[in-house]
Amino acid sequence: MGITLHLERLTQFSLVLRESRMAVYVANMSHTGMVRAVNEDYYGYFHLANYDILVIADGMGGHRGGKIASKIAVDAVREYFETHLKDGRPIESMIDEAFGVANRMIRDFASANPGLYGMGATAICLVVENNKAFYRHLGDCRLYLIRDEKIKRLTKDHTLVQKLLDDGIITLAESFFHPERNIVSKALGGRFYLEFDEPIGFLEMVNGDRLLMCSDGLFDSISDEEILELAKHGDIQNCVQELINEANRRGGNDNITVQILLYAGE
Amino acid sequence: MKCPKCNTENSADSKFCLSCGEPLTRKTIAIGVMPPQQTEEKIVIGKNYEVVKKLGEGGMGVVFHAIHNLSGQEVAIKMLPPELSKDDGIRSRFINEARLLAKLDHPNIVTLYNFLEEDQKFYLIMQFVRGKTLEEYIKERGKLSIDEVVNIFSQVCDALGYAHQMGVVHRDIKPANIMITPDMRVKVMDFGIAKLTGGTRLTATGIAVGTVWYMSPEQIRGAELDARSDLYSLGVTLFEALTGKVPFDSESDYEVRKCHVEVNPPSPLIINNSLPKAAETILLKVLSKNPDDRYQSAQEFKKAIESLRSSPYIITPESQSQIGAQDLAQKSKGRSWIKISSVVAGIVIIGVVIYYFLFYQRIMTSNVSPLRAEQVYIPAGEFIMGSEKGEEDEKPVRKVLLSAFYIDKYEVTNLQYQRCVEARVCGAPQNFLVNKSPSAPVVGVSYNDAKTYCEWVKKRLPTEAEWEKAASQKGVNTDYPWGNDRPDCKRANFVECDLKIKEVGSFLSGASGYGVMDMAGNVAEWVADWYDKNAYLTMNTTNPKGPLTGTYRVIRGGSFKSSSLDLRKSNRMYASPSERLMTVGFRCARSE
Query: In chain B, which residues have their Cβ closer than 8 Å to the Cβ of A61?
Result: 203-204
Instruction: Please report the ipTM that was assigned to this predicted complex.
Output: 0.74
Query: In chain A, which residues have their Cβ closer than 8 Å to the Cβ of B87?
Result: 35
Round the average pLDDT of chain A to a whole number and report it.
88
Whole-angstrom distance, CA of residue B314 vs CA of residue B274: 6
Selected residue of B205, B494, B572 to mutate for chain A interface (largest A Cβ count, 10 A) = B205
* B221 closest CB neighbour out of A115, A116, A169: A169
| Complete edge-to-edge strand list for the sheet that includes strand B178-180 | B132-133, B178-180, B186-188
Q: What is the pLDDT of residue B26?
A: 36
Query: In chain B, which residues have their Cβ closer than 8 Å to the Cβ of A37?
Result: 86
Q: Is B563 on the interface with A (CB under 8 A)?
A: yes
Q: Which region holds residue B493: left if phi is over 0, alpha if psi is between -120 and 50, else beta? A: beta
Whole-angstrom distance, CA of residue A228 vs CA of residue A151: 6
| Interchain contact, B564 vs A99, CB within 8 Å | no
A144 vs B69, higher pLDDT: A144
User: E strands, B398-521, where?
Assistant: 398-402, 405-408
* A64 closest CB neighbour out of B19, B201, B499: B19
Chain B nearest-CA residue for A163: B254
Q: How many CB atoms lie within 10 A of CB A177?
A: 10
Chain B nearest-CA residue for A197: B561
What is the pLDDT averaged over residues A150-159? 95
Whole-angstrom distance, CA of residue B115 vs CA of residue B125: 6
* A195 closest CB neighbour out of B7, B574, B583: B583
Where are the domains positioned within chain A?
11-263
DSSP helix/strand/coil, B149: helix
Whole-angstrom distance, CA of residue B419 vs CA of residue B438: 11
Task: Name A54's Cβ contacts closer than 8 Å, sequence gap at least 6.
Answer: A26, A28, A43, A44, A45, A125, A126, A127, A128, A213, A259, A261
| Interchain contact, B566 vs A113, CB within 8 Å | no
Structural domains of chain B sorted by starting position, each given as residue range(s) with its CATH number in brackets: 42-127 (3.30.200.20), 132-200+211-314 (1.10.510.10), 320-366 (no CATH), 375-591 (3.90.1580.10)
B51 beta partners: B66
Chain B nearest CA to A96, separation (Å): 6
Q: At B585, which amino acid appears?
A: G
B385 beta partners: B398
* B237 secondary structure, DSSP code: H
Q: What is the pLDDT of residue A236?
A: 95
| Interchain contact, B583 vs A199, CB within 8 Å | no
Whole-angstrom distance, CA of residue A123 vs CA of residue B462: 36
Q: How many CB atoms lie within 10 A of CB B174?
A: 22
Q: Which region holds residue B37: left if phi is over 0, alpha if psi is between -120 and 50, else beta? A: alpha
Cβ A226 vs Cβ A246: under 8 Å: yes
3-state SS of B29-43 is CCCCCCCHHHCECCC
| Interchain contact, A60 vs B205, CB within 8 Å | yes
Touching A: B residues 84-123, CB under 8 Å: 86-87
CA atoms within 13 A on the CB side of B569: 32
Query: In chain B, which residues have their Cβ closer than 8 Å to the Cβ of A119?
Result: 204
Q: Is B204 on the interface with A (CB under 8 A)?
A: yes
Q: Is B574 on the interface with A (CB under 8 A)?
A: yes
Cβ A60 vs Cβ B204: under 8 Å: yes
Cβ B83 vs Cβ B129: under 8 Å: no
What's the fold here for domain A11-263?
Answer: Phosphatase 2c; domain 1 (3.60.40)
What is the pLDDT averaged over residues A193-215? 94
Q: Is the pLDDT of residue A134 over 80?
A: yes
Q: What is the pLDDT of residue B480?
A: 96
Chain A nearest CA to B225, separation (Å): 12
| Interchain contact, B222 vs A180, CB within 8 Å | yes
Backbone φ and ψ of A186, nearest 5°: -150, 135
Q: What is the pLDDT of residue A193?
A: 78
Query: In chain A, which residues have their Cβ closer than 8 Å to the Cβ of B211?
Result: none
Banded model confidence at residue A136, pLDDT cuts 50, 70, 90: very high
| Interchain contact, B563 vs A100, CB within 8 Å | yes
Torsion angle, CA of A160/A162/A167/A170, rounded to 10 degrees? 90
Q: At A166, which amino acid appears?
A: D
Chain B nearest CA to A159, separation (Å): 9
B172 a catalytic residue: yes
3-state SS of B272-336 is CCCCCHHHHHHHHHHCCCCHHHCCCCHHHHHHHHHHHHHCCCCCCHHHHHHCCHHHHHHHHCCCC
B313 beta partners: none
Cβ B235 vs Cβ B283: under 8 Å: yes
Q: How many CB atoms lie within 10 A of CB A32?
A: 17
* A114 closest CB neighbour out of B6, B203, B261: B6
| Interchain contact, A114 vs B499, CB within 8 Å | no
Cβ A164 vs Cβ B215: under 8 Å: no
User: E strands, B441-588, where?
Assistant: 524-530, 553-556, 572-575, 584-586
Task: Name A86's Cβ contacts closer than 8 Å, sequence gap at least 6.
Answer: none
Chain B nearest-CA residue for A105: B391
Chain A nearest CA to B577, separation (Å): 13
DSSP letters, B86-142, are G-HHHHHHHHHHHHHHHT---TTB--EEEEEEETTEEEEEEE---SEEHHHHHHHHS
User: How far lies B451's CA from each of A71, B250, B408, in Å?
Assistant: 40, 20, 14
Cβ B542 vs Cβ B401: under 8 Å: yes
A29 beta partners: A11, A258
Residue B469 CB burial class (10 angstroms; 0-12, 13-18, ≥19)? buried
Chain B nearest CA to A204, separation (Å): 18
Cα B404 to the chain's mean position, in Å?
Answer: 38
* Pairing mode, strands B112-118 and A41-48: unpaired
Q: Element (H or E) spanning B346, and its range?
A: helix B337-367
Q: Is B262 on the interface with A (CB under 8 A)?
A: yes
| Interchain contact, B200 vs A179, CB within 8 Å | yes
**Catalytic choice (B87, B88, B105, B172):** B172
DSSP helix/strand/coil, B241: helix
Whole-angstrom distance, CA of residue B307 vs CA of residue B45: 47
Cβ B118 vs Cβ B82: under 8 Å: no
Instruction: Give the number of beta-carbon pairs within 8 Å between A and B.
Output: 138
Q: What is the pLDDT of residue B322?
A: 39
Chain A nearest CA to B11, separation (Å): 13
Selected residue of A108, A134, A183 to mutate for chain B interface (largest B Cβ count, 10 A) = A183
Per-residue pLDDT of chain B (592 residues; tens, 9 = 90+): 555 555 666 655 555 555 555 555 433 222 222 333 333 467 888 888 999 888 876 556 678 899 998 999 999 998 876 666 656 666 777 777 778 788 889 999 999 888 888 877 788 898 999 999 999 999 998 889 999 999 999 999 999 999 999 888 988 899 989 999 999 999 998 876 666 654 443 333 333 444 789 999 999 998 888 999 999 999 999 999 999 999 998 767 788 899 999 999 999 998 888 999 999 999 999 999 999 999 999 999 999 999 998 765 554 444 333 333 333 333 333 333 333 344 444 444 444 444 444 444 444 445 688 888 999 999 999 999 999 988 889 999 999 999 999 999 999 999 999 999 999 899 888 877 778 899 999 999 999 999 999 999 999 999 999 999 999 998 888 999 999 998 999 999 999 998 999 999 999 999 999 999 999 999 999 999 999 989 999 989 999 999 999 888 999 999 999 998 899 999 999 988 988 888 999 999 999 8
Cα B165 to the chain's mean position, in Å?
Answer: 34
Q: Is B486 on the interface with A (CB under 8 A)?
A: yes
Of A220, A223, A224, A229, residue with least CA distance to A257: A220
* B27 secondary structure, DSSP code: B
DSSP letters, chain A, are --------SSEEEEEEE-TTS-EEEEEEEEE--SS-SS--EEEEEEEETTEEEEEEEEEESHHHHHHHHHHHHHHHHHHHHHHHGGGT--HHHHHHHHHHHHHHHHHHHHHHSGGGTT-EEEEEEEEEETTEEEEEEESS-EEEEEETTEEEE-----BHHHHHHHTTSS-HHHHHT-TTTT-BS--BTSSSS---SSPPEEEE--TT-EEEEE-HHHHTTS-HHHHHHHHSSS-HHHHHHHHHHHHHHTT--S-EEEEEEEE---
B121 beta partners: B118
Q: Is B29 on the interface with A (CB under 8 A)?
A: no
* B496 closest CB neighbour out of A93, A108, A119: A93
